[in-house]
Amino acid sequence: MTVNSGASAPTSAGAPERIQEGTMTTDQPRLAAEAGLLTLDDVATMTGLAPGSVRAYHTQANKARREGGVLPTDMPPPDVVVSRTPTWHPATIEAWMEARELRRREAAANGERWAQIPEERKAKE
């Protein structure tokens, strides 16, 4: 994906595309919007979650990925990093929200509270 006329760094399998710093202006939200990408604030607006919650989910998911304990309901890694701004394609966030809703339904069917930490996460802590 080309966001500007600058060069983009090559991507490895599964790693987000990174646009080299110095090739961007400081207006990442506008650039992301022009490319059809969602920033953390856009994700909050799209999902109805509080911006602070989305940032916390992103931070928690990054930590889980570093430690090898990622779950299907964790926020997905950014599709593209514009300078230092993580961004996602709308379809990526829609799939994440569907996974969260499925987990919520499963929890309700099993008499669990959605806010409880899943057993898979407890086992890894």
- Beta bridge partners, 113, equal none
Convert the pLDDT of each residue in 10-30 to its tens digit.
444 555 555 444 444 456 667
Closest CA to 3 of 28, 14, 12: 28
**pLDDT band per the 50, 70, 90 thresholds, residue 92:** very high
As beta bridge partners, residue 38 has: 88
Exposure on the CB side of residue 63, measured as CA atoms within 13 A? 9
Torsion over CA of 41, 36, 75 and 106, rounded to 10 degrees? 100
The residue-averaged pLDDT of 83-96 equals: 92
Phi, psi of 69 (to 5 degrees): -120, 35
pTM confidence score: 0.66
Contact in structure between 1 and 17 (CB atoms under 8 Å): yes
How many Å from the N-terminal Cα to the C-terminal Cα in the chain? 37
- What average pLDDT does this structure show over 77-100? 92
pLDDT digit string, tens, across residues 29-79? 677 777 889 999 999 999 999 999 999 999 999 999 999 888 888 999 999
Which has more confidence, 104 or 13? 104
Please give the DSSP secondary-structure letter assigned to residue 23.
S
